[in-house]
Amino acid sequence: MPNLRQNIITGDWVVIAPERAKRPEDFVQEKTLKKDVLKDCPFCVPNGSAYKTRIAEIEDVYVIPNQFPAFVPEDAVYEQGGALYPAFKSLGYHEVVILKDHKVDLENLSKNVWDELLYIYQKRLQFHYANPAVEYSLVMHNHGENAGASIEHPHSQILATSVMPSYVAKELLGSKDYFKKNQRCIFCDLVKAELGHQERLIFENDDFVAFCAYAARFPFEIWVLPKKHLSDFAQISKSERLNLGEILGRIFRALNSKINDPDYNFFIHTAPPRQGNPSDYYHWHLEIVPRLTKLGGFELGTSDFIDVVSPEKAAFFLKSKPH
């Protein structure tokens, strides 16, 4: 029977309707062969054209400005519009964070490279938030063509914008309301609940818990929450970075081995510094969204979602032993 579920943080609804399709097994992807390194890959080191434009670099990772940015620094933008046609400066930054090794994937990244990658994310977020024009900065990673990655060489992106994204605004509002009513962080309560009943739990380690989201919008949507209450991802320590890399590595290996390297996005939601003081009620986290289905009219017409896989079954499937 279809099941209407609400994301307790954002208030968004989803219909979990597994009868419409599918068992988790139905999403196993065709095996594809990894391509060889292209001779003219722009991201490869040291000869790729992008490498020459780097603005930050450590041993295994470097950062460049996006060649076709969605957000641009102030001196390059204009305003237009009117009462009926509001338009604003698409003010901000758009950067690409590139792993130097073309052949690695997140499921086989070493501990040290995870640490470097997460450390670079932290440093770039701090850099962007130091700019008073930046309201929000998003770290995201696109893996595969269906997830929007146009270049195969592994890379993440960081956006910094002068407007608050509506998804994040809903999370901030919902978690603030919950805190007002209960004097507790809603994410801390979720960590406890998911660890308690374990229905959707996939993995945990000393610092993190990973579970399939209760009101998942997409099949195999996974949330990774830190066990320790902290609103700002940029504040996590080296040992927490290592444990985050550890749990992410396990998740991507499970996705790879159980559904054959699906395309996916992940992104980090962290407290924006210019929204009052969300440090009591907001709790940074990471969301992983495999891209196994296409959006239909319902999703576009309502901005709510129908998920055709039960999150409980998805969790069970991901943590089951390989067969």
Interface with Zn ion (CB under 5 A), residue from 109, 134, 185, 288: 185
- Given a contact cutoff of 8 angstroms between Cβ atoms, the answer to whether 203 and 319 are in contact is yes
Least Å from the CB of residue 78 to Zn ion: 32
Least Å from the CB of residue 221 to Zn ion: 11
Residue 233 touching Zn ion (CB under 5 A): no
Cβ closest to Zn ion, residue 41 vs residue 315: 41
Residue 187 touching Zn ion (CB under 5 A): yes
Which stretch in 49-57, 152-160, 175-183, 304-312 sits in contact with Zn ion by CB under 5 A? Answer: 152-160
| Those residues with Cβ within 8 angstroms of residue 166's Cβ, 6 or more apart along the chain or in another chain | none
Cβ closest to Zn ion, residue 43 vs residue 317: 43
* Token pair for 214: 């209760």
Least Å from the CB of residue 86 to Zn ion: 26
Least Å from the CB of residue 24 to Zn ion: 23
Which residue in the block uniquely carries the two structure tokens 């490498």?
A: 51
Site string for Zn ion, 75-114 (x = CB under 5 A): ---------------------------x------------
Cβ closest to Zn ion, residue 42 vs residue 69: 42
Which stretch in 58-66, 104-112, 133-141, 180-188 sits in contact with Zn ion by CB under 5 A? Answer: 180-188
Interface with Zn ion (CB under 5 A), residue from 227, 229, 253, 319: 229
* Token pair for 83: 């009462």
Residues in 31-60 that interact with Zn ion by CB under 5 A:
41, 43-44
Nearest to 220 by CA among 286, 304, 321, 289: 289
Interface with Zn ion (CB under 5 A), residue from 128, 153, 155, 241: 153
- State the number of CA atoms in the 13 A half-sphere of 67 facing the CB: 9
Cα separation values, 69 from 63, 130, 174, 206, 260, Å: 14, 20, 31, 38, 31
Which stretch in 23-31, 139-147, 261-269, 308-316 sits in contact with Zn ion by CB under 5 A? Answer: 261-269
Indicate the SS3 state at residue 303.
coil
Which residue in the block uniquely carries the two structure tokens 């969605």?
A: 70
Return d(Cα 219, Cα 212) in angstroms, integer. 9
Least Å from the CB of residue 73 to Zn ion: 27
**Residue 119 region by backbone torsions, left for phi larger than 0, else alpha for psi between -120 and 50, else beta:** alpha
Residue 188 touching Zn ion (CB under 5 A): yes
Cβ closest to Zn ion, residue 127 vs residue 187: 187
- Given a contact cutoff of 8 angstroms between Cβ atoms, the answer to whether 124 and 56 are in contact is yes
Alpha helices in the chain (DSSP H): 111-129, 166-182, 186-197, 238-259, 297-302, 311-319
Interface with Zn ion (CB under 5 A), residue from 94, 100, 143, 269: 269
Return d(Cα 170, Cα 131) in angstroms, integer. 23
Cβ closest to Zn ion, residue 5 vs residue 229: 229
Residues at the contact surface with Zn ion, assessed by CB under 5 A: 41, 43-44, 102, 153, 185, 187-188, 229, 269, 283
